[in-house]
Structure 1
Amino acid sequence: MYSLTGFLYQNSTLLSQYKSKAILGLSFAKSPNKPSLSFSFSHKSTNLLISQNQIMIRPSPINPADFQVSTKNGFLPEELPLEILSNPYYEPWEAVIKDLSTLLSTSSLRETVDTLPILTTTHLISEPEWQRAYLILAFLTHGYIWENGGPSERLPACLSIPLLRISTHLSLPPTATYAAFNLWNYAPLSPNLPLNQPENLRCIHTFTGTESESWFLLISVAIESHGAPLIPLMTSALSAMATNNSHVVLSALLRLGYIVREMGILLHRMNERCDPMVFYTEIRPFLAGSKNMGHAGLPQGVFYEEGLDEEGNEKGKYRQYSGGSNAQSSLIEFLDIILGVTHTPSPPSNPTKTTFLSEMRSYMPGPHRAFLSHLEASPSIREYAQDSAIPEVGEAYNFAVKELERFRDIHIQIVTRYIIRPSRAVQPPAVHGGINIAVASSRSAGEG
């Protein structure tokens, strides 16, 4: 277990104090599946009235667009992800990824991939094309490694060579990550409906073709979309701190808390269409990485073939990478940084959790990592709230941190339902070549 460190004063309870000091209202739509939010705050000493739709976004010295972060979609791309590489040169890749779930269900993916030519990245022009190519090869890589019959210790050059080149361009590890599974792997069913409604989304690709897998991935996409307004909101709050505009900071912290609460509501919806045993036995094995997977048949990781040298000797090396994880979400890391939240291992002498979360940042797209690093060098909202002459700013900060803590509590509940409980149950046949990959990936996982 670990704890969040961020509260200014633990004995201050925002909502109870506001009973006498202020008016704080929260309303949701009748359907919990489509929450809407409004709130107001007033205090006799500030004479301030704030509504969600009236908060003015102030110019910020941090321009998210410089880091491929959208003020509209957050860490999701500004434009919808590509669903196909239009250049016919990449048709061999597209043909295989189109039939991925069928090839895996018939244990014929490796046989098919082994016939692929080694394609270059010369014809990838736009950034969405590079992202699409990465998604394709990341899915094919994990499918190839974890196809039924036992894990493959080797990744053929037709996958590894272009994947290494593309990963270098995107500043991502050459393995499947949250970016491939979630950020660049969705499309709306209706362009007129928002992306924060998971029932309005579909996955471009999945391993299993099951509704459970699609829903599992799309809940995260909806959460990313719902949290997107927090980026301009909180970068604006950083600008307001420079002019000591406490009212803007206060309103931003309150809105942050309520948006994070709604993100928790979306996360709870995982239970609607994702079956725990289907996830654990059929889906999760394909999300597994190659790091610390000796018990699963990969003692050295996976050998990435890189062709032959001038003397005809094989080039390449063994590589180990973690699997895809929601801990690779830049949005959640963004919230931690903005609020100055640190993760304290329990016991403190065991830094495994902290180390894991730090490692996961290297699995985020390079520009997003740079954005987070830039924010880390910005003034501290926590210190500003602590020093503010308006006590409600500190209370609003505590409220925001508490909502983030509740969001993580919901995540722990999801991990318990979808990983811990199934791992303790009598194992159904999720066995690859005599190895239960579901159990093996549970042993190596740091966080879901």
Structure 2
Amino acid sequence: MPSAFVIEGRRPAGYIFITPCPRRLVRTLVYQAQCTLNSTAKASHLARLRSTPDPGTGYSLRQENFLQLHLMSQLTRATLTMLPPIPILADYGISPTHGFLPDVLPLTRLPDPYYNKWEAVVSNLQALILSRRLRSVVDRLPVLSTIGLEHEAEWRRAYSLLCFMAHGYVWGGDQPSDHLPPPITVPLLQVSEHLELPPVATYAAVCLWNFKPLFMDEGIDSLENLASLNTFTGSLDESWFYLVSVAIEAHGAPIIPLMLTAIAAAREGDLAAVTRCLRGFAERLTDLTSILQRMHESCDPLIFYNRIRPFLAGSKNMAEAGLPLGLNYDDGSGRLDYRFYSGGSNAQSSLIQFFDVVLGIDHRPTGEFGGRKTRQSSESPREDRAPGQRHNFIMEMRRYMPGPHARFLDQVGLVANVRGFVETHADNPQLTLAYDACLAMLSSFRDKHIAIVTRYIIVPSREVRARSRSRSPEATRKRLDLASASRQRKDVGGTGQSSGPTGTANTKLKGTGGTALIPFLKQARDETGEPAVAEWTRRFMTRTNRTEGRGDFFMGKSEVSSIIEEVQVGGLAGTWTMDEEVGGICNY
């Protein structure tokens, strides 16, 4: 190793990392540099150093814009590196006002008449599905080239159109189709590659790029000023379901630059600025919860469960719904290309993941607490799966985000320092209260979401199952999709018990991507409170004896909550087996 490191240019704006951290080296860092010092024990502290070099150490300031450290022999193992730069929103296609929604409003129609056939199919999608003629119409379409797509807005519109056609084609009949024809497959694969997205109806296809404002002079963060561009059913319920997410994205957008400012302020040791940012974050989170609670206003649970949810299903873990081999993406070459993709889900929302990343919230596999697994987890029948079959759920969902958005989250994860900054200044009551308030508001947001999942999936699944028992077997078997498959799974043997290995009721109630819901969401909620600084706050937000929905208007009578059953599921982060994916109403 050379005996000196030289940093040329202007004064670095960020931290300087020294590992390990000899005390002699600390005293020699000059130029009022704020440093983070990490010892081998992983303890860290902040120090603003204004002292001059100690001549005895051999460190000296070469000139005003150069910092030269002459390392002594006993310090040759020390390394000097700069913090990664705080990401610039424009570099990742993110708007400071609209967030992960496009800065340019989604197109209502592709401008090139060449693509009129796509537009015609989607504009008549509901009628074609109702008349069972969608597949024959799509089969007769020509394979259109994507060469006419110029601007990003056109690529996004094409992606949304093709995804709606694809899912309508697969799930729009009495039996699902495991074959996607070339008129959809060929352009969809090309558009997906351009946008760095999988060829499936993702959150971006049905929410982020599928809305328009009713009045251009009003904001898009108001549900009263939003409309969906495309739907499968043409129902108000489906539009409202998508638009609640759009409004959350729009209203939560200012949080992104706000918390990047907090990261920069933490690097400068600005306690007041970090506190202000956290307070603003908490207030916005309260507003997002209020928007989420409006789901019931125009989206009926039974319509969602039976009519809307099946169209959002992917091809992964859908054997019982009629896709045992996945979905064959036929590109016209005659080669079988079966693929498995998760369905659309709000787990693919970059905004919600941003909240977790910037606050330093860690998620573990369900049943694992504080590094220890519960008995339920340790006895899971999936424990013997090979390590190669397991993956991190959070990172898996980032594959379903637009590429630039996923890279932005990766970069934020490298620079996130708010949690560490708050822990370092735990003696500042205003700072810790603001941080804990953010955790409390995010936990409350997840509480409301659990209530929605219960009302829109758990309760309807019971009602549908009860009605199906009075029908003839022929009527029950007539249609096969996600909703009917969920019902039939629970009716094995007429006992209402799952056919899974544990025999636990409801263990295989799945979302559109194939995963159970409630334990996953409960632990995500509880883990949100774990970073709390104040001990009483941490105990309050991580308690496990809460009854979701009791006294909540989403749930109605409190005894409804008793139907929520403990379902074994892989977890929010850490390791998930390959046959457990996220899906359903919206797994935040």
| TM-score bin (small chain) | 0.7 to 0.9
Q: Contact 2:171–2:481 (CA<8 Å) still a contact in 1?
A: no
Of 392, 397, 419, the residue aligned with 2:435 is: 397
Q: Contact 1:431–1:437 (CA<8 Å) still a contact in 2?
A: no
2:278 is aligned with 1:253: yes
Q: Contact 1:256–1:400 (CA<8 Å) still a contact in 2?
A: yes
1:52 paired residue number: none
SS of corresponding position for 2:309 = helix
Give the deviation of 1:436 after TM superposition.
4.5
1:373 paired residue number: 410
One-letter identity of the residue aligned with 1:112:
V
Instruction: State how many pairs are aligned.
Output: 384
2:463 is aligned with 1:425: yes
The CA distance in 2 between the partners of 1:346 and 1:306, in whole Å, is 39
One-letter identity of the residue aligned with 1:358:
M
Q: Which runs of 5+ in 1 are unaligned?
A: 1-59, 309-313
Q: Contact 1:187–1:203 (CA<8 Å) still a contact in 2?
A: yes
Give the deviation of 1:357 after TM superposition.
3.5
Q: Contact 2:266–2:417 (CA<8 Å) still a contact in 1?
A: no
One-letter identity of the residue aligned with 2:88:
N
The CA distance in 2 between the partners of 1:440 and 1:358, in whole Å, is 28
1:230 paired residue number: 255
One-letter identity of the residue aligned with 1:215:
W
Structure with greater Cα Rg: 2
One-letter identity of the residue aligned with 2:362:
T
Give the deviation of 1:380 after TM superposition.
1.6
Structure (1 or 2) with the greater helix fraction: 1
One-letter identity of the residue aligned with 1:420:
I
Aligned pairs for 1:204-283 within 5 A: 204-283=229-308
Give the deviation of 1:62 after TM superposition.
2.2
2:483 paired residue number: 438
- Say if 1:440 and 1:341 are closer, same or farther in 2 by CA, change over 3 A: farther
Question: What are the superposed Cα offsets for residues 142-191 of structure 1, whole Å, 9 maximum, x if unpaired?
Answer: 00000122000100011011111111111000100000000000001111
Q: Contact 1:151–1:432 (CA<8 Å) still a contact in 2?
A: no
Aligned pairs for 1:137-216 within 5 A: 137-216=162-241
SS of corresponding position for 2:363 = strand
SS of corresponding position for 2:335 = strand
- Say if 1:373 and 1:359 are closer, same or farther in 2 by CA, change over 3 A: same
Q: Which runs of 5+ in 2 are unaligned?
A: 1-84, 383-389, 469-474, 487-508, 516-581
Question: What are the superposed Cα offsets for residues 72-102 of structure 1, whole Å, 9 maximum, x if unpaired?
Answer: 1000000110111111111111110111111
Give the deviation of 1:379 after TM superposition.
3.7
Q: Contact 2:181–2:329 (CA<8 Å) still a contact in 1?
A: yes
Question: What are the superposed Cα offsets for residues 305-331 of structure 1, whole Å, 9 maximum, x if unpaired?
Answer: 0112xxxxx124100111100111000
SS of corresponding position for 2:231 = coil
2:117 is aligned with 1:80: no
The CA distance in 1 between the partners of 2:421 and 2:266, in whole Å, is 7
The CA distance in 2 between the partners of 1:179 and 1:62, in whole Å, is 22
- How big is the alpha-carbon RMSD for the aligned residues of Structure 1 and Structure 2? 2.0
SS of corresponding position for 1:122 = coil
Give the deviation of 1:355 after TM superposition.
3.9
One-letter identity of the residue aligned with 1:395:
L
Aligned pairs for 1:216-365 within 5 A: 216-308=241-333, 314-348=334-368, 349=373, 350=377, 355-365=392-402
The CA distance in 2 between the partners of 1:432 and 1:303, in whole Å, is 24
SS of corresponding position for 1:202 = strand
Q: Contact 1:138–1:180 (CA<8 Å) still a contact in 2?
A: yes
One-letter identity of the residue aligned with 2:265:
A
1:16 paired residue number: none
Give the deviation of 1:433 after TM superposition.
4.6
SS of corresponding position for 1:343 = coil
The CA distance in 2 between the partners of 1:246 and 1:315, in whole Å, is 61
User: Which stretch shows the higher mean deviation, 393-402 or 285-294?
Assistant: 393-402
Q: Contact 1:290–1:323 (CA<8 Å) still a contact in 2?
A: yes
The CA distance in 1 between the partners of 2:215 and 2:413, in whole Å, is 37
The CA distance in 2 between the partners of 1:396 and 1:431, in whole Å, is 54
1:70 paired residue number: 95
Give the deviation of 1:115 after TM superposition.
0.8
The CA distance in 1 between the partners of 2:292 and 2:407, in whole Å, is 27
TM-score normalised by structure 2 residue count:
0.63
The CA distance in 1 between the partners of 2:477 and 2:107, in whole Å, is 32
One-letter identity of the residue aligned with 1:123:
G
Give the deviation of 1:434 after TM superposition.
3.2
Question: What are the superposed Cα offsets for residues 20-74 of structure 1, whole Å, 9 maximum, x if unpaired?
Answer: xxxxxxxxxxxxxxxxxxxxxxxxxxxxxxxxxxxxxxxx942111101100100
Highest RCO, 1 vs 2 (Cα 8 Å, sep ≥ 6): 1
Task: Provide the identity percentage.
Answer: 46
The CA distance in 1 between the partners of 2:463 and 2:220, in whole Å, is 35
One-letter identity of the residue aligned with 2:261:
S
SS of corresponding position for 1:342 = coil
User: Which stretch shows the higher mean deviation, 241-250 or 436-445?
Assistant: 436-445
SS of corresponding position for 2:401 = coil
Q: Contact 1:423–1:439 (CA<8 Å) still a contact in 2?
A: no
2:129 is aligned with 1:104: yes
The CA distance in 2 between the partners of 1:379 and 1:164, in whole Å, is 35
The CA distance in 1 between the partners of 2:243 and 2:278, in whole Å, is 27
SS of corresponding position for 2:431 = helix
The CA distance in 2 between the partners of 1:329 and 1:356, in whole Å, is 13
- Say if 1:387 and 1:339 are closer, same or farther in 2 by CA, change over 3 A: same
SS of corresponding position for 2:331 = strand
The CA distance in 1 between the partners of 2:142 and 2:100, in whole Å, is 33
The CA distance in 2 between the partners of 1:62 and 1:345, in whole Å, is 29
Q: Contact 2:360–2:416 (CA<8 Å) still a contact in 1?
A: no
